[in-house]
């Protein structure tokens, strides 16, 4: 099992992916599409071999369903399905890393930690997954890396490919057949931001019910997705908050 | 109608009240109780005169109900009812200030603005209310000022008097007789942090439904109140988040 190296030459993933954390939509983020030649062929067989040693079979099946769901959703919206496929396949590389290891790798790479990350380092499996994709599999495409990084909490200003992978992770067929999930599957074809909004709110409602801490980035992503969805509905400006 | 002055001698309210914005409870905040002699007698008649010129009668009646509810709740929990009364009476001083004026006063006093404040300056009526209380009515007690400042969004680490005023504003009898409100009224007698948690979650659910932006401080307050409530339930540690 390879441990990601952290040579100074690699630079910080956080620097490479850093996007402004704002609630107002950041138009520049829509142009975060790496030049076509930055996406390299990925040795899918090698990734599957690595995964079979590092995650249980049940998780591997989830990963394959996320890959397939991401491809279909990207194709449906005329987005780059190859990037969606790579990020889908690589999104859970660090899912079974121990908390101590996640914290060590994230800190070594300069990831800025929220207190909720420190209490619940498992959330860092997304950030660390992107680091492993870069260091173990040589992924350099910033949009693929960002989609891995953003797959759990989202991020204000994330690209449409990130939205696709975020949604695919939450709605792949193995997640179930509830009314809420079927609503998200339907929304994901109508409007990606509207579906991201819904999944963030469903997730927060569920974390209210289970009395769990909520990472502040979920709310930042929700506020951003709300604004994006409202802007795309012609003439519908964001409503102002009363709290 | 008096306009709050902003002499350099007053210092920044933000400096005076600055508390760490963290999700972990800050034990030091529990000692943010000004020495008894820092709470001065307030000329209640003068405040009522000022309010009658600056807020409509309906709002004045709400303010009086918040004052009364805060006194009762403070007495019930053996807290300083005088501080609760002052903050209750003064909490909505800036409720009818125009957005431009709220932004100007907040910026002049060094209040750090979130993008949601800039989109919806009305949220600043709490911060600016504390500035008016200080500059127009000579309030110097930091706990009273903090309770005014925290009455809308709360704040991680806020004092029990702040919790009382935050709750009184949300649950005073004029707010209605719904199941949710009656639950909060009941919880407020059992455990102040548990009631703060509930009001934050109810507020977020309602803002989900109305498709409104949500200020990040509501979630920070919710996470903090959750941890405080769980710590007070013996042997019940905070559950870790899955998002």
The secondary structure of A174-188, three-state, reads HHCCCHHHHHHHHHH
Q: CA of A116: which chain B residue's CA is closest?
A: B23
What distance in Å separates residue A16's CA from the closest CA in chain B?
23
Q: What confidence tens digit (pLDDT) does each residue in A162-204 have?
A: 999 999 999 999 999 999 999 999 999 999 999 999 999 999 9
Whole-number pLDDT of residue A32: 38
B43/B28 Cα distance (integer angstroms) = 31
| Interface contact A153-B122, CB threshold 8 A | no
pLDDT band for A240, please (50, 70, 90 cuts): very low
What distance in Å separates residue B37's CA from the closest CA in chain A?
34
Whole-number pLDDT of residue A42: 86
Whole-number pLDDT of residue B30: 37
pLDDT band for B10, please (50, 70, 90 cuts): very low
Whole-number pLDDT of residue A77: 98
Q: Which of A120, A218, A243 sits opposite B207 (nearest CB)?
A: A243
Mean pLDDT of B230-237: 73
Whole-number pLDDT of residue B233: 85
Whether residue B230 has pLDDT greater than 80: yes
Residues whose CB falls within 8 Å of the CB of residue B195, separated by 6 or more in sequence, listed in order: B163, B167, B171, B184, B187, B188
Question: Would you state the structure tokens that stand for residue B162, as one six-digit string?
Answer: 């702040």
Whether residue B21 has pLDDT greater than 50: no
Mean pLDDT of B63-80: 98
Residue-averaged pLDDT of chain A: 86
pLDDT band for B42, please (50, 70, 90 cuts): confident
Name every chain B residue with its beta carbon within 8 A of the beta carbon of A23: 114-116, 119, 213, 216
Q: What confidence tens digit (pLDDT) does each residue in A125-162 have?
A: 999 999 999 999 999 999 999 999 999 999 999 999 99
Alpha helices in chain B (DSSP H): 13-17, 44-54, 57-76, 81-90, 99-108, 115-119, 125-137, 142-149, 160-171, 179-190, 192-209, 216-232
Whether residue B147 has pLDDT greater than 50: yes
Question: Would you state the structure tokens that stand for residue B225, as one six-digit string?
Answer: 């109140």
Whole-number pLDDT of residue A8: 32
Whole-number pLDDT of residue A202: 97
Whole-number pLDDT of residue A5: 37
Q: CA of B122: which chain A residue's CA is closest?
A: A242
Whole-number pLDDT of residue A104: 97
**Structure-token match 């009668």, residue found:** B57
Whether residue A18 has pLDDT greater than 80: no
Whole-number pLDDT of residue B25: 37
Domains and CATH numbers, chain B: 37-232 (1.10.3210.10)
Whole-number pLDDT of residue B13: 56
Question: Would you state the structure tokens that stand for residue A144, as one six-digit string?
Answer: 């693929």
**Gyration radius of chain A over CA positions:** 17
What distance in Å separates residue B112's CA from the closest CA in chain A?
14
Q: CA of A203: which chain B residue's CA is closest?
A: B243
Q: What confidence tens digit (pLDDT) does each residue in A68-117 have?
A: 999 999 999 999 999 999 999 999 999 999 999 999 999 999 999 999 99
A138: left (phi over 0), alpha (psi -120 to 50) or beta: left
Whether residue B236 has pLDDT greater than 60: no
User: Between B176 and B17, whose confidence is greater?
Assistant: B176
pLDDT band for B38, please (50, 70, 90 cuts): low
| Interface contact B243-A214, CB threshold 8 A | yes
| Interface contact B207-A114, CB threshold 8 A | no
Give the range among A10-14, A193-197, B82-86, B87-91 with minimum mean pLDDT. A10-14
Q: Which residues pair with B212 in a beta bridge?
A: A239
Mean pLDDT of B64-76: 98
Q: How many residues does chain B have?
A: 243
Whether residue B201 has pLDDT greater than 80: yes
B51/B109 Cα distance (integer angstroms) = 22
* Helix/strand/coil for A52: helix
Q: What confidence tens digit (pLDDT) does each residue in B154-183 have?
A: 999 999 999 999 999 999 999 999 999 999
Mean pLDDT of A22-37: 40
pLDDT band for B37, please (50, 70, 90 cuts): low
């Amino acid at each position: 099992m390879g441990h990601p190296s952290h040579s100074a030459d690699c630079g910080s993933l956080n620097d490479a992916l850093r996007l402004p954390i704002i609630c107002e939509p950041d138009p520049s983020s829509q142009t975060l599409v790496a030049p076509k030649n930055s996406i390299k062929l990925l040795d899918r067989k090698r990734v599957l071999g690595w995964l079979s040693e590092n995650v249980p079979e049940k998780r591997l099946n989830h990963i394959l369903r996320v890959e397939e769901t991401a491809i279909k959703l990207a194709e449906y919206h005329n987005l780059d399905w190859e990037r969606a496929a790579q990020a889908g396949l690589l999104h859970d590389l660090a899912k079974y890393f121990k908390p101590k290891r996640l914290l060590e790798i994230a800190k070594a790479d300069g990831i800025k930690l929220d207190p909720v990350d420190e209490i619940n380092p498992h959330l860092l499996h997304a950030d660390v997954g992107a680091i492993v994709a870069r260091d173990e599999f040589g992924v350099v495409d910033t949009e693929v890396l960002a989609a891995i990084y953003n797959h759990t909490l989202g991020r204000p200003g994330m690209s449409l490919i990130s939205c696709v992978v975020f949604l695919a992770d939450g709605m792949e067929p193995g997640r179930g057949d509830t009314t809420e999930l079927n609503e998200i599957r339907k929304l994901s074809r109508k409007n990606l931001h509207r579906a991201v909004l819904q999944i963030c709110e469903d997730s927060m409602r569920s974390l209210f019910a289970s009395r769990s801490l909520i990472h502040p980035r979920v709310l930042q992503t929700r506020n951003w997705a709300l604004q994006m969805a409202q802007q795309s509905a012609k003439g519908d400006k964001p409503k102002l908050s009363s709290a």
